[in-house]
Amino acid sequence: MSVVLAELDAADDHVDAQIAGCLNLEAPRSFFLFAGAGSGKTRSLVTALEYIKTTLGGQLRSRGQRVAVITFTNAASDEIKRRLLFDPLIDVRTIHSFAWSLIDGLSNDIRTWLSVDLAADIDRLAAEEAKGRKGTKASNERLRKIASKTRRLNDLPNIKRFVYSPTSDNRGRDALNHSEVLRITADFLREKPAMQSILVGRYPILLIDESQDTNKDLVDSLFAVQAAQKKKFMLGLIGDMMQRIYSDGKDGLGESLPSDWMTSGKKLNYRCPRRVVTLINRIRSTADGQEQQAWSGATEGVVRLFLMPRDHADKAAAEAAVARRMAEIADDEMWRDPKSVKTLTLEHRMAAARMGFLEMFSPLYQVNSWRTSFLDGKLPILRFFSEQVLPIVNAKVGGDAFGLARLVKNYSPLISRNALRAAAGEGQLQAANAAVGQLVELCHSSQSPKLRDVLLCVAKSGLLEIPDALKGAIADAPTESPVGRENNDDPEDRQSEQAEAIQKFLDAPFSQVAPFSEYLGGQAHFDTHQGVKGLEFDRVMVVMDDAEARGFLFKYEDLFGGKTAGATVESTRRLFYVTCSRARRSLALVAYTSDVARVRDYVIGQDWFTNEEVVVGIPD
């Protein structure tokens, strides 16, 4: 038996050697590696990079070259850098950061590209307007876009240098948006031989993690570069089409590759228990037939599907009951501790409702122009409360005198250098202490103050500098956007929308700031289905509720037998696969549905679950 287990665990040992065989600067060979959930693809990627450092590092440094690695998230980028001890030979970036690094500074070329692109958009919109009905909402939107794009087109000659940040909303008149950076880079790589030479000259080896979700236009352009420069350039793709959950990825990646590419695959799943491996194999069986095996050390594991009526009144209570039942079924008391269970929702609002910060979340989330910086926790309106007010209150209440002194010194104008010079220093310190006391007394009063109350308290005492966007709210007047002018929207409409959102945001209780900050910081026990790709947890609860999510890209009702196969069904199947494959020990699936009996019959008929594994109704 031990020999059989040893052979099983060695099933993927050849893969790293195959990749190493491709890593040759004199005779590079591009490759595609299929790596399913929990297969250790990051380990294989790091192993390849360690091989490069050891065998090719001297050559690369002598030529002034580096190896590029494109990752899907900043967290993945940071993890790879950490494992490689931050070796500067390996340039690890997200796709947007990588694309911008290639075109940054090419302002004349970018200006020319934008001139053509904006003119084409204006012509297209004008043609649609000529055919459409006048005076409708759609017509007004077309006219607004035509005017906005025309202003931007006319502004282009006045822009000396274009700017971009991969982690912000890029609002200025000279800023490119995320989509434009990818499209420009892809077009330049396809059409400009000099750009291909720049890429290959910098990075003779380019590896892409999570390649199935990498922008298809950029992937196609990199295929073009590889075909034209195959003697100087190696492209390595690592991915799994079943884990593709974003629509801009390339269809059929890994299929019909050139004959000189190396293709390989990893079969073992080192993450999931055996029961989960069986489940995810069944989920993908009608998609591509790929199967994984659990490694020899895998536990058996526990899976349950709980079916609830869609109109159930208290879903948070139902999910708490599910967790209690899982503690019994899995013989694991940690299920009773919410912080030991990662609960996955389809949409941020669902987590906001369950964690109790929906009132402060919804107004800002609905402003599309703020969404990126908002979810990254970088919106100034939010940071004022989450990084200044709340930490000061917590430090005072917690008796952290050193932390409180540091926060007040960093943020309070009452003890700034100029303020201390203009007045007696001790008097200013007393004023700061009094202001902190007033703030803490308000925040911990029995009346549960609103954010507006807290803002007015801080403004009156002068404890903190008020962000410009909130100064207008104090005066009950419209305010300028804190992030500047957007490059493709109407400033007046945007200003009105943002001012209204701020007023609604300030009506929320201050008590919601703490759970909100925890969620955005990734420390909460909630996350989204899409947000946990690449992560793993001992206990996973997946909440599936199409009605509450209000989305259109993913429909679990369709997947569970409501409709025949289609784009929505397949995208939901892939998302279902991703969420189920996060579990290391046990998995609870909670589906709210309009037809419990139909879903039960379907999932059992598909051999996804046994009769015993499907629980109908709220557990006792």
pLDDT digits (tens, 9 = 90+) for 188-202: 999 999 999 999 999
Eight-class DSSP state of 564: -
Over residues 450-477, the pLDDT tens digits come to 999 999 999 999 999 998 888 877 765 4
Pick the most confident of 9-13, 376-380, 598-602. 598-602
pLDDT at 426: 61
Task: Tell whether the model's pLDDT for residue 48 goes beyond 60.
Answer: yes
Please say which residue of 511, 544, 564 terminates a domain: 511
Over residues 204-259, the pLDDT tens digits come to 999 999 899 899 999 999 999 999 999 999 999 999 989 888 778 888 888 889 99
pLDDT at 441: 93
Task: Tell whether the model's pLDDT for residue 491 goes beyond 60.
Answer: no
Kindly state whether residues 247 and 157 are assigned to the same domain: no
Share of the chain residues as helix, strand and coil, in percent rounded to the nearest 5: 55, 10, 30
Please say which residue of 233, 266, 299 terminates a domain: 266
Under the banding of pLDDT at 50, 70 and 90, the label for residue 144 is: confident
Distances (CA, A) of 526 to 245, 310, 345: 19, 20, 7
Q: Is residue 491 part of a domain?
A: yes
Q: Is residue 374 part of a domain?
A: yes
In this structure, are strands 537-544 and 268-269 parallel, antiparallel, or unpaired?
A: unpaired
563: domain CATH number?
A: 3.40.50
Segment (H or E) for 185: helix 178-191
Kindly state whether residues 119 and 77 are assigned to the same domain: no
Residue 615 pairs with which residues in a beta bridge? 306
Kindly state whether residues 112 and 84 are assigned to the same domain: no
pLDDT at 192: 94
Mean pLDDT of 77-103: 94
Please say which residue of 161, 179, 204 terminates a domain: 161
* Contact predicate 294/272, CB 8 Å: yes
Give the phi and the psi of residue 93 in degrees, each rounded to 5.
Answer: -145, 160
Is pLDDT larger for residue 552 or for residue 203? 203
Kindly state whether residues 261 and 279 are assigned to the same domain: no
pLDDT at 482: 39
CA angle 547, 551, 553 (to 5 degrees): 130
Q: Is residue 352 part of a domain?
A: no
Q: Is residue 4 part of a domain?
A: no
Kindly state whether residues 493 and 384 are assigned to the same domain: yes
Over residues 300-347, the pLDDT tens digits come to 999 999 999 998 889 999 999 999 999 999 999 999 999 999 999 988
pLDDT at 3: 44
Look up the domain containing 120 and give its range. 107-161
Q: Is residue 166 part of a domain?
A: no
Q: Using the structure block, give the residue that is written with the tokens 């409180």.
A: 404
Kindly state whether residues 307 and 406 are assigned to the same domain: no
Task: Tell whether the model's pLDDT for residue 14 goes beyond 50.
Answer: yes
Mean pLDDT of 406-417: 86
Give the phi and the psi of residue 555 in degrees, each rounded to 5.
Answer: -135, 105
Q: Is residue 226 part of a domain?
A: yes
Spell out the SS3 assignment of 24-35: CCCCCCCEEEEE
pLDDT at 182: 95
Under the banding of pLDDT at 50, 70 and 90, the label for residue 170 is: low
Mean pLDDT of 46-66: 96
Is pLDDT larger for residue 130 or for residue 286? 130
pLDDT at 4: 45
Kindly state whether residues 372 and 463 are assigned to the same domain: yes
Kindly state whether residues 24 and 81 are assigned to the same domain: yes
Give the phi and the psi of residue 10 in degrees, each rounded to 5.
Answer: -95, 5
Under the banding of pLDDT at 50, 70 and 90, the label for residue 75 is: confident
* Contact predicate 439/432, CB 8 Å: no
Q: How many domains does the chain have?
A: 4
Kindly state whether residues 480 and 377 are assigned to the same domain: yes
Under the banding of pLDDT at 50, 70 and 90, the label for residue 609 is: very high
How far is C-alpha 10 from the chain's CA centre? 34
Percent of the chain with pLDDT over 70: 92
Is pLDDT larger for residue 564 or for residue 267? 267
Kindly state whether residues 493 and 588 are assigned to the same domain: no
Q: Exposure pattern of 251-278 as b/e (b: 16+ CB <10 Å)?
A: eebbeeeeeebeebbbbbbbbbbebbbb
Under the banding of pLDDT at 50, 70 and 90, the label for residue 485 is: very low
pLDDT at 171: 67
Q: Is residue 377 part of a domain?
A: yes
pLDDT at 424: 55
pLDDT at 475: 63
Task: Tell whether the model's pLDDT for residue 77 goes beyond 80.
Answer: yes
Could you give the CA distance from residue 264 to residue 616 in angstroms, rounded to a whole number?
42
Could you give the CA distance from residue 340 to residue 305 in angstroms, rounded to a whole number?
19
Task: Tell whether the model's pLDDT for residue 484 goes beyond 60.
Answer: no
Kindly state whether residues 450 and 479 are assigned to the same domain: yes
Sequence-distant (6+) residues with CB within 8 A of 304 are: 325, 326, 329, 587, 588, 589, 613, 614, 615
Kindly state whether residues 505 and 407 are assigned to the same domain: yes
pLDDT at 473: 75
Q: Is residue 370 part of a domain?
A: yes
- CA quadruple 412, 414, 420, 425: dihedral, nearest 10: -110
Percent of the chain with pLDDT over 90: 63
Of 607, 52, 608, 547, the closest CA to residue 311 belongs to 547
Number of helical (H) and strand (E) elements in the chain, helices listed first: 29, 14
pLDDT at 306: 97
* Contact predicate 586/301, CB 8 Å: yes
Average pLDDT taken over every residue of the chain: 88
